[in-house]
Structure 1
Amino acid sequence: MSELINLLLDGSKQMHIQLTESQSKDLLSYTELMIKWNKTYNLSAITSPSEVVKKHLLDSLSVLHYVDDSSILDVGSGAGLPGIVIAIMRPNIDVSVIDSVGKKCHFMRFVKSQLRINNLRVINERVESHITKSCYGQIISRAFSGVEDTIALTKHLLCGDGHYLLMKGEHFEKEKLKDIVIKKHKIFVPYVSDARFLLQINTKYI
């Protein structure tokens, strides 16, 4: 456990993110739950605790500086990445995570209950069928779909002045993006050699 906490704290520090003792504890508890439930729920192909910290937690934390204080929807959240990490780190904002797979939502609800994440809402639905009374200020995705498909399936949920935060690997530039105006940020994730990017897309440019 000391190895994991050191990995988490050092990685966060390299990204200029200061973790409180409570946040560190919750993130590591989340890691433990993910590894435990993964054995039967098939949440992730990554099973090594240190790799979970590097490729899941630190990767999710890497976009934190781009998240503002408006409500946020994590699309195709799976095990809760990055939505649960954002909810732990930013208790002042409303975070919703949506996934069509029931067992993954069951896991996320368990994490919410165990860690008492009061600003987190778990939605078991297909995102294109999701209807909400109030729009979301931000929509984020990590491993959901291509840029154009993500926008097509979720645009009805985004506020008029909202924006997308789409986490992508190095091959995203092969996607056909037509006339979508994108602000591209190269993201640094400690201990991860794969190239990571964040695509920021404002509603008015879609």
Structure 2
Amino acid sequence: MSAHDPIQSQLLAGLAELGLDPAAADALRRYLDLLARWNQTYNLTAIRDPAEMVSKHLLDSLSIATEFDQQRLVDIGSGAGLPGIPLALACPHLRVTMVESAGKKARFMREAVRQLDLGARVDVVEGRAEALDRPGQYDRLSARALGTLTQLLDLGGHLLQPGGLLLAMKGKYPDDELAALPSGYRLLDSRPLAVPGLIGERHLLRIEKLG
């Protein structure tokens, strides 16, 4: 990529601010280009501007990258592969399963996995998370903008092993949702998220599945 490419510069600055390896920037840019191209035909995301995609999609997804080492992550309602694909590109030891019921979005994710050579660590499941028959097979569960904490756990909680964590990315701190947390789960901890280029509250809540 050109050193004078503003999108690449934005990506590199964001990765630096998040404390992530800049080596991921080229692959992230390839994913962004693919997303922008498919989006023209398949309407995968309402965001059209690539610069806006960098902050609202890529860097927002990567704001939780420091949570991962060698875990198995299941991401439900993945849409166009967010946060699963950016996380897989930035975390080379992470294994990711992305679950999406919309056929056009699942097709895009499979093509992105193929083009980015992620097939050894990333798989795409076309279907509904609550129907996925892989009980207790994952250490981490994530979802972006899919529903309340209770809804996320109803859909994907069975996929977590005991001691596994739901990594819930929220805007304002969800006191009401935490008060309604189903039995068998507890809030382990929470922290504010700073997403480069985004203004507004963001929080990461780590919800533990009890044994």
Q: Give the TM-score of the pair, scaled to structure 1.
A: 0.92
Aligned amino acid, residue 3 of structure 1: P
Q: 1:134 to 1:172 in 2, by over 3 A?
A: closer
Alignment of 1:112-191 (within 5 A): 112-118=113-119, 119-132=121-134, 135-170=137-172, 172-175=174-177, 177-178=179-180, 181-182=186-187, 183-191=189-197
- Whole-Å separation in 1 of the counterparts to 2:18 and 2:143: 20
Which secondary structure does the structure 2 equivalent of 1:181 belong to? strand
Give the AA of the match of 2:60. Answer: D
Kept after mapping to 2: 8 A contact 1:144/1:150:
yes
1:87 and 1:93 in contact (8 A); partners too:
yes
Q: Deviation of residue 40 (structure 1)?
A: 1.6
Question: What residue in structure 2 maps to residue 48 of structure 1?
Answer: 49
Output the CA distance in 2 between the equivalents of 1:103 and 1:168.
Answer: 26
Specify every segment of 5 or more residues in structure 2 that has no aligned partner in the other structure, as ranges.
none
Partner Cα separation in structure 2 for residue 167 and residue 87 of structure 1: 17
Q: What amino acid sits opposite 1:87 in the alignment?
A: A
Give the superposition deviation at 1:175.
3.1
Does the Cα contact within 8 Å between 1:97 and 1:123 map onto a contact in 2? yes
Measured in 2, the distance between the counterparts of 1:195 and 1:48 equals 22
Whether the aligned pair in 2 keeps the contact of 1:147 and 1:177 (CA below 8 Å) is no
SS in 1 for 2:210: helix
2:136 and 2:162 in contact (8 A); partners too: no
Q: Kindly, what percent of the aligned residue pairs are identical?
A: 34
1:1-206 map, 5 Å = 2-20=5-23, 23-118=24-119, 119-132=121-134, 135-170=137-172, 172-175=174-177, 177-178=179-180, 181-182=186-187, 183-204=189-210
Whole-Å separation in 2 of the counterparts to 1:70 and 1:14: 24
RMSD, aligned α-carbons: 1.7
- Given that 2:68 and 2:94 are in contact with CA atoms closer than 8 Å, whether structure 1 keeps it comes out as no
